[in-house]
Amino acid sequence: MPLTDTAIRNAKPGAAPVKISDGGGLHLLIQPNGAKLWRLAFRFAGKQKTLALGAYPTVSLAKAREGREAAKKLLAEGVDPSLHKRREKLSAKASANATLKTVAIEWLNNQRHALTPKYADELLRRLEANIFPQLGARPVADIDAPEVLGVLRKVERRGAEEQARRLRQTLGAIFRYAIITGRVTHDPTAALKGALRAKGREVHHAAMPREDLPAFLGALDHYDGDPRTAIALRLIVLTMVRTTELRAARWAEFEHLDGSEPLWRIPGERMKMKTEHLVPLQPQAVAALRELRGLPGANASDFLFPSPAAQGCMSNNTMLFALYRMGWHSRATVHGFRSVASTVLNEAGFNRDWIERALAHDERDQVRGAYNSAEYLTGRRSMLRWWANWLDEVKASGKVIVLVRDAAA
């Protein structure tokens, strides 16, 4: 017969433990000292087991019955209720002892093998400056989306909108790590998609003044940020491609790097004009690629420049903010290097069609466009080699040299 609260209150202890059944395996175990404990008997994988559901009256009869029904559901799903309870206890204990700061540092240490020491330290500095003061001591399981948004809004109000977006990405990676390690059940940053201020469209592509080239090239050799970013800027200058074409580049696109005619074959789907683009590579570009390949974690992704905080490639503004960091804020953009190269090469007397094809500009005549793609590759290779050598001379001399080229080039 099912138990009642009256029967439970009136039940007296004996010299030995006494069981009073409620049905379905649920029973009240009355100890000789008077303690009344809820127990659930069940079978799992052919073995008889017992699950503790708490003590009466702290756990009422109704709550004990809820526990019995919950255990039945787990059994129907092939889950051992006692093992499930132990896991929940361990997870609760881990969550209670895990602050955002401890989890973040654990995540970062776990990522260090794939990051350069400088970049890993930079990530930690950003968290220490912007996140830890407000959220670092909070239990990671208690942090919700509005709290995260409030902290990121403070970063936005300083005018550091791109940094706010990057911090959201980093926090997302930290919370996903916390999910995997059993500290939390969800990522609050996922709810913030679209909540931060939208990126403004870049409408000005300021070209670096030519007289700044020697200083810029010298500073690039001593860039103190992530070396991947410095290599990306070098490749942008050498290859004349667009930012989006470089940052999403994959290693599989590069051919014959050990041969006499190395080539970068950019798929049409990543080109502005949706047609395949071939970039002949100078020795300087190949050297930059080899340097990139030798950095820690280079083989961990198909991308040349993987995102450090999420899947995919580097942010659209990574190189631009490197320019700002080097002192060219509002004086130059990454896209502007294409204009610099075009001006220098035109003044040096190179074939205009070679230059336009190197820039992957639209060809309205489809027949002529196909002809250029096949016929101009040799000319473009010699032109880009001249361009790379000219840049080396500019950097070495510390001044913009007279534009003189071999007439055979």
Give the residue numbers annotated as catalytic, written as ranges: 242, 272, 335, 338, 361, 371
Taking residue 17's Cβ as centre, other Cβ atoms within 10 Å add up to 12
DSSP 329-372: TTT--STHHHHHHHHHHHHTT--HHHHHHHTT---SSHHHHHHH
Q: What is the largest CA-CA distance in the chain?
A: 111
Q: Which two tokens stand for residue 48?
A: 């008889």
Radius of gyration of the chain (CA): 32
Straight-line distance from the first to the last Cα atom of the chain, in angstroms, rounded to the nearest whole number: 101
Enumerate helices (H) and strands (E) in the chain, giving the number of each: 16, 7
Dihedral sign for Cα 61, 67, 70, 75, please. negative
Q: Strand 26-30 to strand 18-23: parallel, antiparallel, or no bridges (unpaired)? A: antiparallel
Q: What is the three-class DSSP state of 254?
A: strand
Pairing type for strands 26-30 and 36-44 reads antiparallel
CA atoms of 12 and 14, how far apart (whole Å): 7
Look up residue 143 and give its two tokens.
């942090």
Which residues touch 289 (CB under 8 Å, ≥6 apart)?
235, 254, 257, 281, 304
In the sheet with 277-280, reading across from the earlier edge strand, the strands are 254-255, 263-266, 277-280
64: phi then psi, degrees, rounded to nearest 5: -65, -40
How far is 127 from 197, CA to CA, in rounded Å? 20
Give the residues across from 266 on adjacent strands: 277
Give the integer Cα–Cα distance in Å for 96 and 46. Answer: 35
